[in-house]
A and B are shown apart, each in its own frame.
Chain A
């Protein structure tokens, strides 16, 4: 009996809001909008100045976000899509659903140069293998990892963003030799999970010595749990980057408001929320403004990344190599 009441209450509230203020609809991934994610703080800060009602719509992860947008096509309700990453940009651009943002992006603090008329970064991170600080002989490359008897858990690139990031990382460093590297890694891989949560859960459970995650993961344990026993392994060849972006939808009813939001996204009011809610690096905030604890994280050199077009072109081949190597 409660459900219809709650639902009609929500509809009523939404209706009342839209009567006098414009509603800016942002599609994003689920964890961005949760109570403990960046969503609530970002919403409050933007609504203070915009004279609008900002509404988030959560849609699974980055890949489901893009799928949802493709399903809806031109008739989408979204004004902004926030939470795609560089591996999804090429496919997203191809839909023709996005407009140029026209926002000055000169204050970006990414470790690589960024130039894109439609997609604007809001945070980023390095992929890395997380391990306990008491682990012996921590590998410094994929080949060392393959030679060691360390047990690792990774994510499936077909259903998980970090999994796809790892695929690209190995491809970037080893090129045509990637398949051989995967074959050598096969006996280190305890299992492949559908998503990040399962893999990280298995690692915390002691099923593996290392898990694929981000260099910022130890910051969570340190800051939120006061646990300094987790750290990330530094690989000499550099670490692959994940850059998360937002873009405004072509034909949005609130184009000016959407552009205002994208500009707001690169200000400290938005950026300073990111580190301890999304546990990633903010895309436009100097390192000196990061919270205490982030200075303890490893600093990979260099940050590696394919352009969206390269990533799209390499993806299927890299996946086939991965599958062939690990299916034996």
Chain B
């Protein structure tokens, strides 16, 4: 009913236009690379092995990330303690770190001379060996657990407090609450979270290879690099790009088939307060989950901070200039991403071609930045010099890459607002801009702030397509950091990594904070 409550207006057309834009920006560059290709060798057995490994490791990584995130998110949803919001913000940091920085941070805990190995050796046990499939999954969980926790936590906080109050009145136990309120919510939230993380992991390249221990751990993305840079077989690179799209579409269809629409209902927008889970055992359990997750995520980050601290004052000036450039870029990215996501989320919430739209929204993480970047390069070069376009193109591509995350955060909130208030709004004659301003936006502040912060932070840390376009004087902060690392300047690179970490977190925090009206998260 609520679906038809609002007439199809400008927002729906805008949503459709954004979806079309996303499809265009992915399909046209793919096509351009194919057109430019000479004879291609097609996909060989090694490529198919890469596909199998890619899907397998991504499945395991998403499974563990989401599985471990459930108890952590639940604990965070029902506990209130000092520093909780700071902890949640900090825990999000691994997601935005450049890969190599995060890997080196992980090694300080799980490496041969890492803390864990040292402790085991104290007890006469052999040290841990991180290299192999388990290492790949461990690193992917490190990157994606925070995202999973945040997405699931959003779901928890979206359960209206009136429900919990009613449950308390009816004398519900934790188990009853789980069955009647939490499980339906999880059924709604988990498939989307799983899909997003699965897709992120399918484009993994450096993590998979570095920690995978050898050519066994070849992913589709590496096969694309090989096709493009080693064999200059553009046809095969584009074909592999199509394979990535196919993986995304299949996973998307599967996930949407599993997911159910939200059936929670709405309340009066008050902060969550829980009456259940106050037993000693429940408190201890929640405390243990929060502590374990915090240690797992924060110890490697601490190592990054400690190493960078010594070098940050003596870094070359080009780093600071690059940092300014990255900040500007991330602000543009955030506004473009949110501007695209909102109409699309409203269209998805109306239920029209929902699966199709969600899959389009997810495509941009699943497709190789190298293929898209190359395609854009081929298309745009006749029009203007690549260096003139480096920042606009990077901004657009980064915004597209952030779109799925912003959508994930927005869609459930829009659905809920429309389901709960759409009819009231209609009966009051609220529509169009007024409806947006008085009904929808106030209810979307939290996911909008979260989404914008995530998009901005992701853009800060992303190397993306800028490498193909940037002139030496135009590097972003992560690019400069890689340049430092590539010239033995490890100390300066660690300083740059710390700066990147601080800036990303700050920019995320500012947006996220701005979106939190009732400071409950």
Contact = CB atoms under 8 A, between A and B. Distances in A.
B343 interface: no
Given A35-B318, A201-B485, A202-B107, A7 B374 contact: no
Nearest to B316: A35
B142 to A, nearest CB: 16
Nearest to A186: B214
B510 to A, nearest CB: 17
Nearest to B112: A207
Interface size range on B against A: 35 or more
Nearest to A59: B468
B486 A197 contact: yes
Given A201-B485, A207-B111, A327 B104 contact: no
A56 B473 CA distance: 9
Interface stretch (B7-15, B380-388, B408-416): B380-388
B215 A30 contact: no
A224 interface: yes
Interface string B303-328: 00000000000001010000011001
A206 B385 CA distance: 44
A191 B468 CA distance: 27
A63 interface: yes
Interface string A46-63: 000000000011111001
Contacts of B46: 323
Given A189-B214, A322-B215, A158 B226 contact: yes
Interface in A136-186: 151, 156-159, 186
B210 A198 contact: yes
Contacts of B378: 71
A149 to B, nearest CB: 13
Contacts of A30: 467, 472, 483, 486
Contacts of B291: none
Nearest to A278: B487
A224 B486 contact: no
B229 A191 contact: no
A36 interface: yes
Interface in B57-108: 100, 103-104, 107-108
B104 to A, nearest CB: 6
Contacts of A39: 472
B267 interface: no
Nearest to B467: A60
Interface in A233-277: none
Interface of A: 1-3, 6-7, 10-11, 30-31, 33-37, 39, 56-60, 63-64, 66-68, 70-72, 75, 77, 91, 151, 156-159, 186, 189-198, 200-202, 204-207, 217, 220-221, 224, 279, 322-323, 326-327
